[in-house]
Structure 1
Amino acid sequence: MSIKKKLGLGIASAALGISLVGGGTFAYFSDTEVTNSTFAAGTLDLAANPTTIIDVKDIKPGDTMVREFKLENNGSLDIATIDLLTKYTVTDANSNNKDDFGKHIKVLFLENADKTGDGWVIGDYNDVISETTLYDLQNMTPDAVENLNHWLTELLGLGGEDSGLKAGSSDNMYVAFEFVDNEADQNEFQGDSLALEWTFTAHQTEGESK
């Protein structure tokens, strides 16, 4: 056998011996602990009470209508904002109508009384909608639970809730509609009807450390 073969066999035998020794003598302590975690999502549950805010017949130009309703947060999460979207359909009694009935129905105000606080006393109301026709309101998305006068109520100590709607709470809303009398011929609206749909969409607050 050549010298090279003898050296090769010697190196292989030595490596095998080291491997066996290492495998036979290596030992360690161990301990195992199992943890369990859960993640439960909260809920956004917005309700309007009542769901029919107004149902009125036989109105004429100059009539005003005031109604009250509540926005309720029945979920487990606080609500940051509530967007109000307006949609309506008009049923014309006459085929010769040239104008949109929605241009003549005005929201005089939509007042969030809980955000106003003692502002009632000084007449500084929290009107999330003010002097706006239903026609124009279609292109707006006011926040129904925003405190528009937060800086003033805080400065004067008038109270009033912060913007948003906390879980388990509600806001009292007052709304006034007017069939506008434009002091012109409005005979084309006789017998017409308007179905108003207000959609309130709640949005969560920002994420936070838990």
Structure 2
Amino acid sequence: MGIKKQLGMGIMSAALGISLIGGGTYAYFSDSEQTSNTFAAGTLDLSVNPTAIVDVDDLQPGSSITRNFELQNNGSLDIRKVYLESAYTVNDAHNNNTEDFGEHIQVQFLYNADKFDEVIFETTLAELKDMSPEAVNESIFYPEFGEQGLEAGSVDDLTVKFNFLDNGGDQNQFQGDSLQLNWTFNAEQGESEEK
């Protein structure tokens, strides 16, 4: 190889090396921004006051008792539907019951404390226990609250009258018996809306 060729190759190699070094060290401007978003879930908080439904001694056929319940929506979301699950147990004092004591306790759901004569729905504890929560909502809470449900921060009264039905027959089997009633209120949120 001649000297001219070697010199030409050396110059080309040097030029290539310089271009690689220069190409790797160029500078440019940049900028970045970060956004921060918060997504907070709303709350459903249905509370009932008082929590004891009925605590009555010495009921007799034909007697009744009325109780007011305050349904409170303490959450940040509207409650569209309220479901009620009803359960009870009977303590048969003399082990002589041939009938279910719950069939003799009538439950009347009234519009509010000012209108005791306006019944929303009427059934027995035995029938109420077997009803689906959806049927209870349609029969009791929808007529009371309507389509708007129970709005966030609102309070509504539910008045219930319990009647020990006098069937005109011998009800001696229920003497000394007690019935433990448990109601569970479940809330379902209202329609979602675009924020």
Structure exhibiting the larger radius of gyration computed from Cα positions: 2
Amino acid at match of 1:111: L
Q: State the alpha-carbon separation in 1 of the partners of residues 119 and 123 from structure 2.
A: 15
Is the 2:80–2:147 Cα contact (8 Å) retained in structure 1?
A: no
The alignment partner of 1:135 has SS state of: helix
Determine the structure 2 residue equivalent to 1:165: 150
Amino acid at match of 2:51: T
Q: Kindly indicate whether residue 128 of structure 2 is the aligned counterpart of residue 143 of structure 1.
A: no
Determine the structure 2 residue equivalent to 1:68: 68
C-alpha distance 200-112 of structure 1, shift in aligned 2 (>3 A): farther
Q: How does 1:85-164 map to 2 (within 5 A)?
A: 85-107=85-107, 109-113=108-112, 125=118, 127=120, 130-140=121-131, 141=133, 142-143=136-137, 146-148=141-143, 162-164=147-149
The alignment partner of 1:138 has SS state of: helix
Amino acid at match of 1:134: L
Is the 1:146–1:163 Cα contact (8 Å) retained in structure 2?
A: no
Q: Cα deviation per residue 1:56-104 (whole Å; 9 max; x = unaligned)?
A: 1111111121121210111122111110010101000112211110011
C-alpha distance 84-97 of structure 1, shift in aligned 2 (>3 A): same
Uncovered stretches (5+) of structure 1, i.e. residues with no partner: 2-12, 150-159
Amino acid at match of 1:82: V
Determine the structure 1 residue equivalent to 2:162: 177
Identity, % of aligned pairs?
Answer: 50
Q: How does 1:50-61 map to 2 (within 5 A)?
A: 50-61=50-61
Aligned positions, number = 181
- 1:29 offset after TM fit, Å? 3.3
- Could you say what the CA RMSD is over the residues aligned between the two structures, in angstroms? 3.1
Determine the structure 2 residue equivalent to 1:6: none
- 1:20 offset after TM fit, Å? 6.7
Amino acid at match of 2:137: D
Q: State the alpha-carbon separation in 1 of the partners of residues 111 and 187 from structure 2.
A: 15
Q: State the alpha-carbon separation in 2 of the partners of residues 112 and 72 from structure 1.
A: 16
TM-score w.r.t. the length of structure 1 is 0.72
* More moved, 174-183 vs 27-36: 27-36
The alignment partner of 1:52 has SS state of: coil
The alignment partner of 2:97 has SS state of: coil
Q: State the alpha-carbon separation in 1 of the partners of residues 17 and 125 from structure 2.
A: 90
Q: State the alpha-carbon separation in 2 of the partners of residues 16 and 136 from structure 1.
A: 93
Q: State the alpha-carbon separation in 2 of the partners of residues 83 and 19 from structure 1.
A: 75
Is the 2:109–2:161 Cα contact (8 Å) retained in structure 1?
A: yes
Q: State the alpha-carbon separation in 1 of the partners of residues 142 and 146 from structure 2.
A: 7
Q: State the alpha-carbon separation in 2 of the partners of residues 126 and 206 from structure 1.
A: 29
Uncovered stretches (5+) of structure 2, i.e. residues with no partner: 2-12
TM-score w.r.t. the length of structure 2 is 0.78
Q: State the alpha-carbon separation in 1 of the partners of residues 143 and 183 from structure 2.
A: 21
